Amino acid sequence: MEGLIVSNVLLWVLLVAVAFVVMGLVRQIGVLHGRLAPAGALMVDKGVAVNEAAPQITASDRHGRPVNFGYAGEKSQLLFFLSPTCPICKSLLPAIKSIAKEQAGNLDVVFVSDGDMDAQQALIREHKLEDATYVVGPEVGMTYQIGKLPYAALIDKSGTLRAKGLVNSREHLDSLFEVEHLKHATLQQYLNAQPHAHDHDHSHGHSH
């Protein structure tokens, strides 16, 4: 009889231990879901609609100079929202810089971030962004309702929001510009219409 009680107690202890393990796994799955959430964010878009007037806001760059967002001007504007703690943001910086160089005549690229200034300065030094227009502060992200990073928005010369979306790759960046020409309502619609987009060659011209 005593042996039965002991084995029952052991079973209960085991059951409680298993319950803790399951709770731990559930928590881990929750953490993983949080990390994977940016992919899901493509489907849930807030803020101003594409092909409508972009929100107008003026914010100071890191030198204290005013930068206008969403106003009509001589060039289109590409807003790239990033963070020093976002590895994908950093991996896209070479592509953003090459776009800025290629499109210099008709596009202004503006980097928008928030948070610790020392971390921003380290990022700027590491990726040689000293000459770039770089805004640090929450106002622009809040105005454009940016929830996930890295995020980009393309505003044309007239101040109309042409494309916006989460950008996890160079392909996503390129598609922002294709969206403008193809007149898809959103970057997501464009990507959904391109199931084999990653098979396409996105090089701009071939060298012989």
- List, as one string, the DSSP characters of the chain: -HHHHHHHHHHHHHHHHHHHHHHHHHHHHHHHHHHHHHHHHTT---SSPTTSBPPPEEEEBTTS-EEEES---SSEEEEEE--TT-HHHHHHHHHHHHHHHHTTTTEEEEEEE-S-HHHHHHHHHHTT-TTSEEEESSHHHHHTT--SSSEEEEE-TTSBEEEEEE--SHHHHHHHHHHHHHT-SSHHHHHHT-TTGGGS---SS---
More confident residue, 136 or 43: 136
* Residue 159 within a domain: yes
Count up the domains in the chain and report the number. 1
* Residue 192 within a domain: yes
For residue 37, pLDDT over 50 is answered with no
For residue 11, pLDDT over 50 is answered with yes
pLDDT of 38-90, one tens digit each?
443 344 456 778 889 999 999 999 999 999 999 999 999 999 999 999 999 99
**Domain containing residue 102:** 57-196
pLDDT tier at 179, thresholds 50, 70, 90: low
* Residue 23 within a domain: no
For residue 196, pLDDT over 90 is answered with no
* Residue 141 within a domain: yes
* Residue 151 within a domain: yes
The CATH number given to whatever domain includes residue 87 is: 3.40.30.10
Indicate the average pLDDT of the chain: 81
* Residue 84 within a domain: yes
For residue 34, pLDDT over 80 is answered with no
* Residue 162 within a domain: yes
For residue 203, pLDDT over 70 is answered with no
* Residue 137 within a domain: yes
